[in-house]
Amino acid sequence: MAYIWQLENWPNFYIDENKFAKDETTFRDLAGQSVGYLEGIPKSDKEESIITMLVKEAIKTSAIEGEMISKVDLISSIKKNMGIKTPSKIIKDKRSEGIAELLILSREEFTDNLSQAKLYQWHSLLMKGTKNIEIGNWRTHTEPMQIISGAYGKEKVHYEAPPSSAISKEMKQFIAWYNSTKPNNKNQPSNSLVRSAIAHLYYESIHPFEDGNGRIGRILAEKVLSQGLNRPVLLSLSGAIENDKKNYYNYLNKAQVQNRIDDWIKYFCSICIKAQTEFIQSVQYSLKKSRFFIAKTPLLNDRQLKMLQRVLAGSMEGDFIGGINATKYQSINKTSKATATRDLQDLVLKNILIVTHAGRSTSYEVNLEE
């Protein structure tokens, strides 16, 4: 089987751009709504929405690659890089520190041209704290760079990238394409979603680094979207991909053995639209929380307020799957079961909590709709 880089006319991609005009319009409309929603909420909620988006992107882009990073260190690092005052803290997880700096840097420099030095810098930040791999340089190992799944002895090769000896030439070509297709350049696709999809596929097909290619490839895709909008894009592409990882890899792998890539483009457009929609939902949720605390804080004791702040801060990310219960309440407040039960029942009477599961293990969820 020939891979895309082995096909005649590589790296030319064949698409019918007219097929994706509606997707581009939908995406731009949603992107405009995102800005509108963000501008219509208080500064503190605006900052929270952006931080939540960046935290989600960092955690999900790592999760796609099977890695876990510290959420606490990540939030602290993102706030620091955004210039938001935060208590001084020793960052133990250097991967969180590096990816936080990378995400902020790539957003701030979204209009800049791409270069080998820039990609080396990105890779060095992304791999901060990582050992036993080549960092800040194209891969040089002689063994094939393969994408493999399956148990030992029953591995399935999904894709094999160009050999390390070809990377310098391939990346020089990619960087030239990337810069020549920026907005207002003669080679620019009129559709930013199309350009983003091609950039991601093109880069992933080269796989230039020993590790971290997927994460950098997604940052490149978001950079393209930002250039198309002429402002940093407000979404977590990795969040949408991680929730649909099987389909993502299926479409990507199929595109990497042909140069007719309409199916890949269509799928990628749908992921971008989904990610933009999810950001709007997160801002709407932030606004609901803000209104909730304005109305309900006078009715709460300190324990109840602390619990609700914790629950609502984590509920969009699934930190409180299954809702709140007396055991979780005790853990948050370091209080007795009797006090926890009494506080929770009080919140039900005030219609602040709703019982979702009765019985010996009663659980509750917050009522944001009133």
In the chain, % of residues over pLDDT 70: 96
304 Cβ contact partners less than 8 Å away, ≥ 6 residues apart: 343, 346, 347, 352
For residue 326, the domain's CATH number is 1.10.10.10
CA–CA separation, 355 vs 358, rounded Å? 7
pLDDT number for residue 289: 87
Residues 256, 146, single domain; the answer is: yes
23 belongs to a structural domain: yes
Residues 216, 346, single domain; the answer is: no
Q: List phi, psi (to 5°) of 158.
A: -85, -30
Residues 275, 333, single domain; the answer is: no
Chain mean pLDDT for the chain: 91
- State the residue range of the domain holding 357: 300-366
226 belongs to a structural domain: yes
341 Cβ contact partners less than 8 Å away, ≥ 6 residues apart: 326
CA–CA separation, 196 vs 223, rounded Å? 8
The 10s digit of each residue's pLDDT in 266-319 is 999 999 999 999 999 988 888 888 889 999 999 999 999 999 998 887 654 545
Residues 275, 319, single domain; the answer is: no
Residues 244, 269, single domain; the answer is: yes
Domain count, the chain: 2
176 belongs to a structural domain: yes
Is pTM, for the whole model, over 0.85? yes
Residues 322, 274, single domain; the answer is: no
For residue 245, the domain's CATH number is 1.10.3290.10
DSSP annotation of 248 reads H
Instruction: Flag whether pLDDT at 231 surpasses 90.
Output: yes
Least confident of 22-26, 35-39, 208-212: 35-39
294 belongs to a structural domain: no
